[in-house]
């Protein structure tokens, strides 16, 4: 972090300002003993006891103090020096960094302006198709259709737990179809769990996880703080984020 500061490679200030609060949430929840409650059967009982004792000793004397120290460092020293401009071009050699990010995200060597225009053209095309579908369903346009969907109780989960359960249902539906689409599959399935309480502090985004990779499953933590989220959005999100072959589209879009 000091090296990045010296080179002028600082993160965005408003993001860094969130870190101390997140550290405080971790300290308050103190989740570090959770792994001791779910040891794999392959770990001998004696080794489990040794690990539990070691974690129990290190947690209050090393881990928690380190989080408090890090939170204080970010709050008083690091975050105030964060950059105020969001664009990557505000960094040293910003234009070159952005051009590299475009190549990395799209896998093709074209100017950023051309990528942007492709995006604008695609948004225009997709919006026209969406409007046509909305009119076909009896609505004035896609905006009116969205209002109808947002206000329709059929598309809103009734509880936070139902959100997680519904995500698991969609995973179970799609998992058997993967061999029809891909030749290389992880040995372990994707799983989805409720986001631990300590990670909910000051969060506004919807999920976090690890995508599938060869030989291992992916996992996603799903925040349960928005029971009003729509089911049709869940189905799309499950497909585009958690299964192999679809994440490239997400990366390209974000570039």
What digits encode the pLDDT tens for the residues 22-62? 999 899 989 899 889 989 889 999 999 999 999 999 999 99
Strand locations in the chain, DSSP E?
191-194, 207-210, 219-222
pLDDT digits (tens, 9 = 90+) for 143-159: 999 999 888 888 887 88
Of 208, 112, 229, the closest CA to residue 159 belongs to: 229
The dihedral through the CA atoms of 219, 220, 221, 224 has a sign that is: negative
Distance of alpha carbon 254 from alpha carbon 82, whole angstroms: 23
DSSP state of 216: B
**178 neighbors 190 (Cβ within 8 angstroms):** no
For the whole model, what pTM was predicted?
Answer: 0.62
Helix 231-242 × helix 247-254 angle, to 10°? 100
- Between 83 and 165, the higher pLDDT residue: 83
Confidence grade of residue 199 (pLDDT, cut at 50, 70, 90): low
Distance of alpha carbon 226 from alpha carbon 204, whole angstroms: 10
Alpha-carbon distance values, 31 to 48, 106, 201, 225 (Å): 17, 38, 14, 19
């Amino acid at each position: 972090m000091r090296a990045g500061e010296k080179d002028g490679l600082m993160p965005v200030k408003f993001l860094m300002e969130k870190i101390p609060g997140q550290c405080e949430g971790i300290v308050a929840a103190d989740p570090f003993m959770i792994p001791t409650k779910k040891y794999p059967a392959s770990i001998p009982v004696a080794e489990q006891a040794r690990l539990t004792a070691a974690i129990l000793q290190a947690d209050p004397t090393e881990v928690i103090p380190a989080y408090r120290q890090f939170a204080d460092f970010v709050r008083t020293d690091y975050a105030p020096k964060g950059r105020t401009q969001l664009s990557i071009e505000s960094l040293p050699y910003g234009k070159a960094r952005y051009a590299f990010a475009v190549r990395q995200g799209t896998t093709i060597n074209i100017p950023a302006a051309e990528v942007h225009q492709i995006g604008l053209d695609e948004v225009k095309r997709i919006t026209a198709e969406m409007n046509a579908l909305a009119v076909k369903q009896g609505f004035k346009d896609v905006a009116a259709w969205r209002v109808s969907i947002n206000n329709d109780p059929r598309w809103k989960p009734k509880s936070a737990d139902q959100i997680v359960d519904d995500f698991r249902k969609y995973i179970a539906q799609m998992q058997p179809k993967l061999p029809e689409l891909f030749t290389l599959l992880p040995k372990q399935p994707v799983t989805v769990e409720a986001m631990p309480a300590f990670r909910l502090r000051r969060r506004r985004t919807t999920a976090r996880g690890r995508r599938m990779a060869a030989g291992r499953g992916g996992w996603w933590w799903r925040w349960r703080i928005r029971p009003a989220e729509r089911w049709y959005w869940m189905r799309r999100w499950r497909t585009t984020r958690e299964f192999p072959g679809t994440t490239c589209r997400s990366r390209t879009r974000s570039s």
